[in-house]
Amino acid sequence: MHKQTRAASRTVALAVAVVLCLPVLVRAQAPSGTATFKATVTDTETAIKEAAEAAKVAAAIASNWTPPRTPWGDPDLQGFYLSLSYTPLERPPELAGKAFYTEAEALRAFRKAVEEDAEVDPRTVHYDWKEYGMDAWQSPVRPNLRTSLVVDPPDGRIPALTPEAQKRRAAARDRNPQVSVQTLDNLYTRCITGNQGPPRLPFNHDSESQILQTPGYVVIILQSNNDVRIIPLDGRPHLPQNVGLWLGDARGHWEGNTTLVVETTNFHHERNWRGSTDGMKLTERFTLVDPKTIRYEFTVDDPATWVRPWSVESVLPRIEPPLYEFACHEQNYGLMNMVKGAQVREAEAAARKK
C-alpha cells in the first residue's frame, strides 16, 4: 500500500527550508520479504528530502500551469490520491493562537513526526506498518505550515458539543459493547465500515482513493472498505428526508476551472461520525492546485452535535496506482484481541466484587 497552503508562496518557502535543513541521523529500515524497496520507504532522511523536493517542484509548476480538462469540458481531477498528513486535526494547546509554523518550526515538527512513526516497536503491536511500506513517511506525505487541519474556528479546535450531543456521548459510555462479537458495535474494528469518509481525514493506513469522471458524474472510490461515492452533477434535488444512506446523498457542481463542490446530506441514522447525527450537512471542495495535488476542504454543519459549523483544509497528493483490496477480515487480530481483552477485564471486575 501507499501512504501519505493555500498560499503558493508559503509552499515554496517551506520547500526551500526543508531542502536546506541540516541532516540528522539516518534511521534505515529493512522491510521483510524479497522485494526491492526504494530508499524513500527504507530511509527516513531520504523520504523527508524527497517530500521537500516534491513540494518545491509542485509550487514551481503551479505558478505557470493550465489545469487540464476532460474531453467533454469539465475540470479533470482524475487519478489516484492519498489522504494522509502528519498535521494534527486540532491545534495542540501549546500552540494556541498560532495558526502557522515558521518554516523552521514546520520542518522540526515534520521531522519529529516522521522519526517517531519510524521508531514504532513491532513488539508492542500485532504488526509493524513500515514492514509493508505503509507508514506515512513512506508515502508522498508533505510538510505543512499549518499547526492544525481545522482552519475554522480560528483557534484550530473542533467546537464544543451541544448539550444534546453530550447526553448521547454519556449514554454511549454507559455501555460496554466490546465484551462479545454479537454486541460489539465498533463497525470499523469489525471491518464492516471504512475510515475514509466522507469526510476524509488523515489516517495511518487505507488512505488511498481514486477519482473517476464521466459526463454528468464524478465517482470517488475509497480503498478503505471498498466504498464508492457516485456524485451526480446535473442539479437534481436531494433524496427525500426520510431516506438515509451510509455515505450520504451527494450532489456536486463545478466552481471555476478547478474546483468540484460536493454537498452531502441524508446520512443514515445509525452512522456516527465523531458523534454526528443524520442531520449533518457536509460541504466538500476538491481543487486541483497543480498536476500532483488536490486541495481538499470540508465544512461540517450539524446543529444537533456541535455548537457551530467547523472546517478543515488538507492536501491530497497524487500517488501511483493501483488501489489494493481492502482485505480487513483476514487475520483480524484487532477484533479478536479487543473482545478477549474486554472479556478478561469484565471477569476481573466481577471477581473483585465477590
Is the N-terminal amide bond of 153 cis, ω within 30° of 0? Answer: yes
Alpha carbon distances (Å) from 165 to 90, 169, 244, 274, 309 = 19, 6, 20, 10, 14
**pLDDT at residue 1, rounded to an integer:** 42
* 3-state SS assignment for residue 171: helix
Angle at 81 between CA 79 and CA 86, to 5 degrees: 165
Segment 279-333, tens digit of pLDDT: 999 999 999 999 989 999 999 999 999 999 999 999 999 998 988 887 776 666 6
The tens-digit pLDDT sequence of the chain (354 residues) is: 443 433 433 333 333 333 333 222 223 333 444 445 677 777 888 888 888 777 777 777 777 788 999 999 999 999 999 998 999 999 999 999 999 998 889 888 988 998 888 887 766 665 667 776 777 888 888 888 899 999 999 999 999 999 999 999 888 765 555 554 544 556 666 777 776 678 888 765 678 899 999 999 999 999 888 899 999 999 999 999 999 999 999 999 999 888 999 999 999 998 888 899 999 999 999 999 999 899 999 999 999 999 999 999 999 999 989 888 877 766 666 677 777 888 888 889 889 987
**pLDDT at residue 79, rounded to an integer:** 97
Counting Cα atoms < 13 Å in the Cβ hemisphere of 4 gives 26
**pLDDT at residue 19, rounded to an integer:** 30
**pLDDT at residue 264, rounded to an integer:** 97
Q: How far is CA 157 from the centre of its chain?
A: 17
User: DSSP labels for 98-163?
Assistant: --B--HHHHHHHHHHHHHHHHT--GGGSSS-GGGGT-SGGGTT----SBS-SEEESTTSSPPPBPH
* Pick from 297, 77, 86, 330: nearest CA to 209: 77
Counting Cα atoms < 13 Å in the Cβ hemisphere of 307 gives 9
